[in-house]
Each structure stands twice: as structure tokens, then as C-alpha cells.
Amino acid sequence: MACVGLLGGCFNPIHNGHVRLALEMLEQLGLDRVELMPAAVPPHKPGEGMLSFARRVEMVRAAVDGIDGLGVNCIEAKRPGPSYTVDTLRLLRDMRPEDDFWFILGAGDLRVLPNWERGMEIPALAHLAVSNRVEDDLEDVRAFVGSAWPDAIEDATGTWRFAGGRTLSFANVPRLDISSSQVREKWCAGRCVRALVPDGVERLMRTHAGELSGVWGCV
């Protein structure tokens, strides 16, 4: 059995913050690997301004190329309709019953999990690996878990076990204050994006400059 982290996102484009988060979770939780999973049809983001799934996958592959323990999961290409996490996790469990999955998300996303499509079913399908966003996020997570899953038992600081045997682990991840929207804004303004995105991604951005500028609405 392999312990596999899943880091989903639009990756429009992928940036160094995504890669660092994947590596931190890989190391801190002792996972066998982390797979970055681009959303094919992000349910909460409009198609306008979104690079094609194939282009975003190409960039994610370039971002993790040569990094041990990181890979790309393109399962969203096999599913029609919106990319709801709960449906993707069910499909992954059916396809790979031998793997133990950890779904990676930020503390802010955890707090709005009840607003996701069947979001509260996710802990029945995968462990949760929650990263901090600000200094006091652990206490926020503790309060949310106590309210949402009162039967969860805190085994150690920042680790809870659900009644079904799944785990929620909190990881203190060094914050890289980078966002995809920031990268897009700098790109459209003709500014340098070096050190914001992996080198391979920057090269692809230059190669497909016209396409990116057109999709992102650069003036």
C-alpha cells in the first residue's frame, strides 16, 4: 500500500508555492508521493481566463520534472462534468483500492468544506492534510473540527482521528506568498515572473506567450 497525497487546483498557472506545499506535505507526513491533480472543469471558476486543461497539465509536468516524490495525476480528464473533489476521490478509490490517499488543502478551505459539493463526505474517502495560512490557524482548525466532527479524537497536537479511522493532520508549512492571479497580473504587465514559477513553467510561458496573453486577457 502506498500513502499518496493529492494536491488539487486550477494551476492557472502552477507556481512555486504549489510545489513547495507538495514537498512539505510529502516530507512532514512521510508520504510515498504527492500527485498534483489539475481540475479539468473547476466548478467555482469561470471558463473565461482559464488555460486549457492540456496546457495546465503540461505546465504541472514541467513544474515537478526531476523532483523525487512528486508526480501528476490527470484523472480529471476521465471524468465528465464539474471537477467535484468528492467524485474524483470516489473514482480514485475504485481505480486504486490499494492506495491510501491524503487530500491536501489549506486551513481556509477546510473551514468552508461544508459549502463544497458533498464536502463533508470527503473524510470518509481520504485522510485530510491541512496546511496553515496564518500563525493561529491550528486553533481555528481545532475549533472547526470540534464543531464539525465532535467525535474526532485529537491524538497529538494537530492530529485527529475520525470514527471511521481516517485522520486529519495539521502541517505548519512555510508560507510563500504567491498566487496564480499575481503571476497572471505580472505576466500581462510584461514583468518578470522568475522565482514565482518553476523554470520549466517560465520557459513554457514564453513559448506559448501569445496563447497565454489571449486567454488571460492581457492588453
The string of pLDDT tens digits covering residues 149-192 is 999 999 988 899 998 899 999 999 988 889 999 999 999 999 99
* pLDDT band with cut points at 50, 70 and 90 for residue 46: low
Say which residue the cell 477546510 belongs to: 110
Supply the pLDDT for residue 77: 87
User: Does residue 134 carry a pLDDT above 80?
Assistant: no
pLDDT in tens, 89-101: 999 999 999 999 9
pLDDT of residue 135: 62
Copy the grid coordinates of residue 146. Answer: 470540534
Does residue 75 surpass a pLDDT of 80? yes
Write out the three cell numbers for 147: 464543531
What cell numbers appear for 70 in the block? 512528486
Cell of 160: 485527529
Q: Following CA atoms 141, 143, 149, 151 in sequence, which dihedral angle do they give, to the nearest 10 degrees?
A: 120
Separation between Cα atoms, residue 83 and residue 8, nearest integer Å: 10
pTM: 0.95
Q: CATH top-level class for 3-175? A: alpha beta
pLDDT of residue 163: 87
